[in-house]
Structure 1
């Protein structure tokens, strides 16, 4: 079966399903169609979409754990990698994944959701194989520090392919569900993917020390099987490819074409929502990548006193991603009832407040206070992810109804056009939001420069530890920037969607639609 044989026709018909599991007749807003035909098909596609996207996130964030074990795996050329270098190794996959999100969205209408889900899952074998090969063969270890770092940047960048899966998956699933059920469906799809972050940060530290006795593993320097970090995902990736190919479908009307992108770029709402998504998803993915390393650099004394947590649980960093993933569908569900803008506003206000509390925890050298604050921040970012993504189809649905009321014409064609614009905005906002995660890591990287300089200049292991402890409050400057950003995002949400003299006055259906 060739890709050409599976390409959709140029016109949208309502004929029987065609070769390649294409569906031409799809009317989720028709209640009778939805209950008898649409719901089971949508649920099946959602299930396997979640599985593939989950693995995409797992591979995307894999280097957040790998960087913690590079020295134990014998890398560095005799000189441990500086914190600023380690942040580059976690930030680069973030950057590549963010960049890939827009072309990944275009791939859905070109290949169909089924085929592209299989292809995008298969691509995950590249970074996992590259990581395993890099560790298994001694060629990289025999290079100088700088050459090793360059090779690792390339291998880490390959993991970025996992970041693109989100946009194509969300855009595809958005077409399967009726408007009133999109919030929960998109929330579940995104949450299933986001859980991949928690899973990789929980399981990978355990797998790489399989067979190493705790009496040895609890030491700061201990052997690890770092190649397992890549190998462990391969069977699941293959399973995701097979499941997508045999059990998913493609919708003829699921198009977010270049015209839709060009049109939505002219809408001010596209840019407002993309910026707000920096604050929600950018925080989730940026902190997910960075938190294990931030904990290691900020509270080395806590990890030294609790070797089990430091060695087997990567400093508990996985809990943040787990909490944020669980709260994402709750944010969509709550937005269906209260309105996404109200939920988003309170999310940003609370994130600013708890980031202040995290700063206080650093200054007081209280790991429980710092860690607890960040768990709440993750919960809020997850809920905000759901609320902002719920706002996008609602806003563009309202804009479509407004245009029909003002200009008339073919209402079905107009509403479909705005639905396709919403799918395009999902891709754009997803990409820009992911770039926000890269910015967060760069802010952390710049803040860590004093630590890097102090540790590098120290001559002995004891002196290096003392230098790290002396600069343990390095993250407060970065946290201060985040507080200011959350205040700006909260003001934007209020200004554009909750003022009485706002966009809602020009598009009255915003309020009715639950924005």
Structure 2
């Protein structure tokens, strides 16, 4: 990568040779190219996350007496796009290498028109069957795949020393798509009530078009970007890959699962307190966006802390704090059960604060876990004596990019689990979420143990900090 390649990028949106580790080329204009691609990657991913989570907003517009879908049915409804989006992250991971980062970002943005238009039509026809609602909700999963392709693409643009911050910023900016669509839903409910969900869809038709046009005008394709299913298969031969994927269930799975469920959980509590469906929807919408917003903002912070302190250390202490926050929910839920579901203001405040803490901490953990991925494989690459510098960089980039998509897919399945556990908890004789809170607490404790055992128990032989790992990790 040199001045000639930078000029090529400005004209053709194609860079044949890109080496982010070349400091001279980076300072001569490479960082500006990377920044431009990062900005529009964030925009496109942001809109994708919004469409992925659109049904977490639509359920607030669906009174049971009109749509005929109860609370358990709604939890399953928002779990469907989570599942589809998680599965799609695997093919989306290799799409940028196959089609080009710019080209795929444009294509994947245009795909978002399908679920948005279908949702708009369906919400204007509430008499449709539950199966129809399920099928349309499934199409929203398209938005969940955008994360994997976006992260894989940006991973290729940035040097190792900046990956934690760049990946955290890219993911955090995308994650903000969740609270953004919830805020738009709040504005609609607050101004015209809970009977006009089509307005939310109409707003996003404009946003989708803007993201596609911006990506087409300002992003670039990289000629030496390689990440295919064979790279993914190679990445999965390393035990650390499976551990990272498991930990991402606890961080991203918590973020996306709670993001989809928090508004509905609040709505159930407000309805139990005697609020009308319209008032319950408004009160839930007024609070629900805060958690995903804080979690999204915290993600770059997690990446930055991992850059400085180490991904393993930040991840473990994040899970310790998440276990404490889950214990707060267990306490609040138990107290609520003992008062026959008629929660006092104090219990409700404790309940909300526990969830907000989990959102914030999951964002930090998302950043720290994803920082571990390129650090681990950069360290492994440096131990390969049969490769030159360029080959090591290519190997590390392709394997890291492949694992980013796979871990994202597995992590997203955690969101499915959260909604199914909450559905089962509310369907139990107790009709409360307390059982679910106990499950969350147990899982975070397991994540603490795994993180310590794999990454911190023997730092002299395995670490996620690159400088130390270069001489410690073997292939």
User: TM > 0.5 between the two?
Assistant: yes
Alignment map for 1:346-425 (pairs within 5 Å): 346-364=317-335, 365=343, 366-404=347-385, 408-425=386-403
Alignment map for 1:76-475 (pairs within 5 Å): 76=68, 81-136=69-124, 138=125, 141=127, 148-208=129-189, 210=191, 212=192, 217=193, 224-301=195-272, 304=275, 310-311=281-282, 314=285, 316-364=287-335, 365=343, 366-404=347-385, 408-450=386-428, 471=430, 474-475=432-433
In structure 2, distance between residues paired with 1:283 and 1:174: 23
User: What is the Cα deviation at residue 189 of structure 1?
Assistant: 0.5
- SS of residue in 2 equivalent to 1:504: coil
User: What is the Cα deviation at residue 14 of structure 1?
Assistant: 7.0
User: What is the Cα deviation at residue 305 of structure 1?
Assistant: 9.4
In structure 2, distance between residues paired with 1:340 and 1:333: 10
User: Counterpart of 1:467?
Assistant: none
- Give CA deviations for 1:437-460 in whole Å, capped at 9, x if unaligned: 111111111112137xxxxxxxxx
User: Counterpart of 1:45?
Assistant: 37
User: Counterpart of 1:495?
Assistant: 453
Whether contact under 8 Å (1:15, 1:24) holds in the other structure is no
In structure 2, distance between residues paired with 1:502 and 1:299: 52
- SS of residue in 1 equivalent to 2:316: helix
User: Counterpart of 1:64?
Assistant: 56
Whether contact under 8 Å (1:298, 1:475) holds in the other structure is no
- Give CA deviations for 1:112-171 in whole Å, capped at 9, x if unaligned: 0001000101111111100111133x4x51x5xxxx111100111111000000000000
- SS of residue in 2 equivalent to 1:17: helix
Say which one has the larger Rg: 1
Whether contact under 8 Å (1:284, 1:437) holds in the other structure is yes
State the TM-score, normalized to the length of structure 1: 0.84
- SS of residue in 1 equivalent to 2:324: helix
* Structure 1 residues 74 and 229, CA gap change in structure 2 (3 angstroms): farther
In structure 2, distance between residues paired with 1:97 and 1:503: 36
State the TM-score, normalized to the length of structure 2: 0.91
User: What is the Cα deviation at residue 511 of structure 1?
Assistant: 4.9
* Structure 1 residues 303 and 486, CA gap change in structure 2 (3 angstroms): farther
In structure 2, distance between residues paired with 1:15 and 1:224: 51
In structure 2, distance between residues paired with 1:233 and 1:514: 49
Query: How many residues are aligned here?
Result: 459
Unpaired stretches in structure 1, ≥5 consecutive residues:
1-12, 218-222, 452-470
User: What is the Cα deviation at residue 419 of structure 1?
Assistant: 2.1
User: What is the Cα deviation at residue 412 of structure 1?
Assistant: 2.6
In structure 2, distance between residues paired with 1:514 and 1:329: 28
* Structure 1 residues 303 and 20, CA gap change in structure 2 (3 angstroms): farther
- SS of residue in 2 equivalent to 1:254: coil
User: Counterpart of 2:24?
Assistant: 32
In structure 1, distance between residues paired with 2:466 and 2:53: 41
Whether contact under 8 Å (2:102, 2:216) holds in the other structure is yes
Worse overlay, 306-315 or 424-433: 306-315
CA RMSD of aligned residues (A): 2.6
Unpaired stretches in structure 2, ≥5 consecutive residues:
336-342
In structure 2, distance between residues paired with 1:237 and 1:267: 38
In structure 1, distance between residues paired with 2:460 and 2:82: 35
* Structure 1 residues 495 and 183, CA gap change in structure 2 (3 angstroms): same
User: What is the Cα deviation at residue 382 of structure 1?
Assistant: 0.2
User: What is the Cα deviation at residue 358 of structure 1?
Assistant: 1.2
Whether contact under 8 Å (1:337, 1:514) holds in the other structure is no
User: What is the Cα deviation at residue 426 of structure 1?
Assistant: 0.4
User: Counterpart of 1:461?
Assistant: none
User: Counterpart of 1:454?
Assistant: none
Q: Does 1:486 align with 2:447?
A: no
In structure 1, distance between residues paired with 2:387 and 2:94: 28
Whether contact under 8 Å (1:187, 1:329) holds in the other structure is yes
